[in-house]
Amino acid sequence: MQRLLLFIPVLIIACNQPDKEQETNIFQSINKEVLVNSDGYSSLKEATETIGHRLTGSENGAKAEQYIYDKLLSYGFEDVQFDEFEVEAWSRGDIMVMVDGDSVPSVSLGHSPVAADVSGEVVDMGNGLAEDYENIGDQLEGKIALTFISLLPDTPEGTRNLHRSEKAELAIQHGAAGVIIFNRVEGGVLLTGTASVTGELLPVPAVCIGYEDGLALKEKIAGNSGSVQAHIKLTNNSGMIKARNVIATLPGSELPDERIILGGHLDSWDLATGAIDNGIGSFSVLDIARTFKANDLRPRRTVQFVFFMGEEQGLLGSKHMVEEEEAQGTIDQVKFMMNLDMSGNPVGMNASGAKIDTLFFLALGQQIQRVDTIYKSGFSSRAGLHSDHQPFMLAGVPILSVHSNLDRSIYSCYHADCDDFSLVDEEHMTNTTRFGTMMLYAIANAEQLPAVKMNSEETRQFMIDNGLEENLKMQGDWKWGK
């Protein structure tokens, strides 16, 4: 059976040769144009130098929204819109963390309280997973939990890690008065990001300290016959802000009411410029939009290029868009959502949803590989959370993402104070534009879509089958009751 599957895509191509030949010619034209004119890299460089970070609700965030809007107009798009939303958003203030009287470099994690001043014994909760809290009783009550953001070296193989917000939630559920999460990256790198599973303010402070300081604190707790005391004092800001998704629409030539969305979050955290998270994704979306106009691509279905704000603070922009679509009764028009979040240098695709046509993606991968063999035509079908595809997936929309082939070291600066443009590889961004344009065009122009929208019950079962039920319940995003 495996041997047969390897040859089926070739047979499909052969049976539909005229259309595939035309599409291959289009792919070749896309490839040549992007290799000469790609400007995702240069635009990201300009934005990081002239704007800096892109925190939602900030002056910088508004500048970034306008920058993308103006770029899209310059490419020739006639329908470019700001999609404004108003939400409560968080920004950092001051922080002080002391351990047994010594200051420890730290940053607040997103949605920590607007003011907190707590002291208490530090309790080492290991990885901060559910199993670390078994039989703990009230031993954490009124104390400060210490957890690792990743998985410790002695963790059993196959253990599934949790998001930082889920680790904070478990500590709070067990009575913690504060949470200290230490980073996995060596060199004192500090990381931020939301520590709230719901997007609401936490009842206790949650902070991040560096890897070395975290290990030293673990050792101090393990070797101290008495208790190790910490003092966390911080201020933050929380209030209503306005932000804008930016949406460029390219009408379909035959099926304008069916829409394919390509999205990436434009916003970033404020510790650095957000070049990797998510400059390489959102500015690749920008360059793919440019490529569609430059090559006069008019697929059968409408394509929307969406730059989301507020992803970092709880998928605010994408949730807003889906809620608006549902309220207006237009969500069924959205047939596929492709998301680029810290994506780069694609070597394959991941499609998630029910009734995925695997053969379509295998054949498409082979087609792209004929253009350039650095694309490896990998394919998977799995689902995850914590990016802008999530609200669409919960609405039953099939999702597409890419297998990235990036230097893993750049992810060390994820959400961190070292997320700098110097980490960006121009060739990798160009590859994202080349191959991403081909993927998007193939889906938008397909005679028959390679997946169908799930109804509510199918979506519920899909979440259960992919092991996402408990995570969604913890987030407050499980919409199917108990």
Report the top-level CATH class of 92-238. alpha beta
CATH 3.40.630.10 residue ranges for the chain: 15-79+251-475
Over residues 55-75, the pLDDT tens digits come to 999 999 999 999 999 999 999
Mean confidence (pLDDT) of the chain: 94
CATH 3.50.30.30 residue ranges of the chain are: 92-238
At residue 410, the pLDDT reads 93
What percent of the chain has pLDDT above 90?
A: 93
Give the model confidence (pLDDT) of 98-139 as tens digits.
999 999 999 999 999 999 999 999 999 999 999 999 999 999
What pLDDT band is residue 20 in, cutting at 50, 70 and 90? Answer: confident
One CATH from 3.40.1030.10, 3.40.630.10, 2.60.40.10, 3.90.226.30 for 15-79+251-475: 3.40.630.10
CA 474 to chain centre: 18
Binning pLDDT at 50, 70 and 90, where does residue 5 land? Answer: very low
Question: Above 50 in pLDDT, residue 228?
Answer: yes
pLDDT in tens, 24-51: 999 999 999 999 999 999 999 999 999 9
Q: What is the per-residue pLDDT across 381-409, written as a single tens digit (0 to 9) for each?
A: 999 999 999 999 999 999 999 999 999 88
pLDDT band at 224; cut points 50, 70, 90: confident
Answer whether 0.75 is exceeded by the pTM: yes
Q: Confidence band (pLDDT; 50, 70, 90) for 301? A: very high
Residue 10's pLDDT is: 41
